[in-house]
Chains A and B, each alone.
Chain A
Amino acid sequence: MSATRAATPPTTRASHAGSRPWQGRRGSTLLRHLAVALAAALLLVALSYGLEPFRNFQLATVAAYLCATAGLTVLTGLNGQLSLGHGALMATGAYTVALCQNAFADRGVTGGWTLPVSLSAAVLTTIGVGAVVGVAAARLRGPYLAGVTLAVAVVVPALAVTFDDVFNGEQGLSVPVEPPPAALGPYFPYERWQLWVTGSATLLALLLLGNLVRSRFGRTFRAVRDDEVAARLAGIHVARTQVLAFVVSAATAGLGGALLAVLAQSVSPGAFSLTLSLFLLMAVVIGGLGSLAGAAWGAVLLVALPDLTHTLTDLLTLSPAVAQRMEGNLPLAIFGSTLVVVMIAAPGGVQGLLSRLGRALLARSPARRS
């Protein structure tokens, strides 16, 4: 939960950026983002001590998904490009990190620096793939873009099966990850360490994204989304902007996938199916498209909602015959109806709902106008 709250402050502001004069205050923006990131980091550390191991792991998973949903928010929410293929980009990052970590392990290379190197390699590889897809995507609009990215989502996991001598087919690869540094003591819980690793990587990514969104690039992203023709008249190179947005988005998705692989200590094509891509899209829209805070809500929902619906259905006591029919299906039905109801009742998603509530409460404060 904390990652969300932690990420909220910079981005709520980011989404209101347009209404405030900001020029000449870039330095202070960066400073403010840094301060918030620092506070968020402190909160994470405190939480990692306060929560049980499983909650630590869930929070770490939220952090990993948050990278991907934040990237998708930048692409879809800020730049207006639809992607049904972000699961495939996550897979690219995940497989890269797996191959790198295995290469290190096979050669007996150890040390705390190996993981950051592998993660960077994952981000770079995904940037490459994202650039290729982005160039194609920049020519396409709406459902045509959806069609191509959907095909990408199907193809990438299939490639893992085609080239099974490298990727080991359906079974996938294991990801050797070193234990927590000895300096933390012999009984340091592994899940806490996982949260620290993913949390810091995600915060770094969010810090960079937050600044990007507030920068000149962020404005060109939005300009292209709002009106391509006007953007072109204003001297913005539309195709280049779209490719850039795709690359940025791919980089964070790749990082998210890589972190997920590190968390799971394994990768396999089944974990990055078309379903994941669709769920990512649902998450950012339900969270609230257009702000990084919405992306954070989306990441939380991805992890918490299946868990919640399962707990909810566990409360019911059913006869064996009924239970067999309901098992698994009832959580899915709850999940599905939630999506439909939220989209109809609160089309702005969770974040939209919260800011509406916030505005109603703070109606007196004139600064909170957007």
Chain B
Amino acid sequence: MDRFVFLTLDGLSRGAVYAAFALALVLIWRAARIVNFAQGAMAVATAYFAYSVAAATGSYWLGFLAALVAGLLLGAVVDLAVMRFVDHSSPLNPVIVALGLVLLIQAVLGMVYGNEFLPAEAPLSRAALTVGGLAVLSPYDLFAFAAVGVVVVALAWTFTRTPVGLRMRAAAFAPEVSRLLGVNVSGMLTLGWALASGVGALAGMLVIPTELGLHPHAMDLVFVAAFTGAVVGGLDSPPGAVVGGLLVGLLLSYVSGYAGSDLTALAVLLLLLAVLLVRPAGLFAPAVARRV
């Protein structure tokens, strides 16, 4: 029982970060109909920026803030400087461009910072608090939960309650009509990219200290897990991304704990098949599934 509780909490704390990252993928998908394969590399780039800022100022929190701002800017730049010029007639074109960006970003980071691991500090203790003799969550885990929670609530509020959020949704779902109604569609698209990239940067900042350290490839595996989470939840649904991310986190933890870490990949595939064969557009798919 102790082990079950331990694995559950461990899985949830990872899952929260996957959820945030999946959310970033969903944001871009909803805004631009692109699965942003460069999301991981972009998040790593902002984490390196945070590392430089923290090293120069001596403050983790300044670095943290810098990463979020850099994330927003990087998203906007990628949209304005690259994605804007891509022919979207085939959905594959942006995917390939994103993959090209991954190689380019990782190579540039390798040139600037080297292909060695750099230490990624956690701002709070990662030692688990014990409750009734059982190691539960650490202050850092609680911080991560809180940060992801704030972002999810803030995004939900933005998209449902604020004029700019409503305009973004309108621009994504009916660009022509929105344009006629005076919505700056292309500006909304850029804003969508910026927001998504900012959320991705946050997820990167949260997850990298729990992994091997700062490295150009630090987010590769996180990307795969988060993409799986987003697909399980349904790419059109932000709540789906959160649930999907948490599910994948739990699954990875249980399988490593009870069956062996070499079986995690297989378990993820089985989860995907089980969900998608019943609901081909994810758990939280809108009522009319099967868009072509």
Q: In the assembled complex, which residues on chain A have CB atoms less than 8 Å from the CB atom of B281?
A: 141, 144
Whole-angstrom distance from the CB of B69 to the nearest CB of chain A? 24
Q: Per a CB cutoff under 8 Å, which of B87, B110, B115, B224 touches A154?
A: B224
A336 close to B107 (CB less than 8 A): yes
A240 lies within 8 A of chain B by Cβ:
no
Whether A332 lies near B106 (C-beta < 8 A) is yes
Contact residue among B37, B87, B90, B277 (Cβ-Cβ distance under 8 Å from A136): B277
- The answer, yes or no, to whether A143 is at the interface (CB within 8 Å) is yes
Contact B96 A339 (CB under 8 A): yes
Whether A282 is near chain B, meaning CB under 8 Å from some CB there, is: yes
In the complex, what residues of B have CB within 8 A of residue A328's CB?
110, 115
Residues of A within 8 A of B288 (CB): none
| Complex-state Cα separation, A146 to B97, whole angstroms | 16
Taking CB atoms and an 8 Å cut-off, the chain A residues in 320-369 that contact chain B are 325-326, 328-330, 332-333, 335-340, 343-344, 347
Please give, as numbers and ranges, the residues of chain A lying within 8 Å of B224 by CB-CB distance: 150, 154, 274
Q: Which of A290-347 contact B (CB under 8 A)?
A: 325-326, 328-330, 332-333, 335-340, 343-344, 347
Given contacts A339-B99, A347-B87, contact A144 B104 (CB under 8 A): no
Is B56 an interface residue when CB atoms closer than 8 A count as contact? no
CA A147 – CA B280 in complex, angstroms? 11
Chain A, interface size: which category? 35 or more
Q: Is the pair A325, B268 in contact by a Cβ cutoff of 8 Å?
A: no
Within 8 Å by CB of B115, from A82, A140, A329, A344, lies: A329
Interface size (B, Cβ < 8 Å)? 55
- A285 x B96 contact (CB < 8 A): yes
- Least distance between A227 CB and chain B CB atoms (Å): 8
Q: Residues of B contacting A338 with CB < 8 Å?
A: 100
The reply to whether B92 and A141 form a contact with Cβ atoms under 8 Å apart is: no
**Whole-angstrom distance from the CB of A156 to the nearest CB of chain B?**
9
A21–B216 CA distance with the chains assembled, in angstroms? 54
Q: Considering the chains assembled together, what is the distance between the CA atoms of A340 and B260 in angstroms? A: 40
Choice from B87, B93, B265 contacting A158 with Cβ under 8 Å: B265
Alpha-carbon distance A329/B114, docked complex (angstroms):
9
B266 close to A (CB within 8 Å): yes
A347 touches B90 (CB 8 A): yes
A140 to B275, CA, bound (A): 11
Complex interface: chain B residues within 8 A of A343 (CB): 86-87, 93, 96-97, 100
Asked whether A332 and B107 contact (CB < 8 A) given A141-B290, A151-B269, the answer is yes
Query: When the two chains form their complex, are residues B100 and A337 in contact, meaning their CB atoms are under 8 A apart?
Result: yes
Q: Give, as a whole number of angstroms, the nearest-CB distance from A76 to chain B.
A: 7
Given contacts A150-B227, A285-B96, A339 and B103 within 8 Å (CB-CB): yes
6 contacts between A and B (CB under 8 A): A136-B273, A142-B91, A152-B269, A325-B111, A332-B110, A339-B100
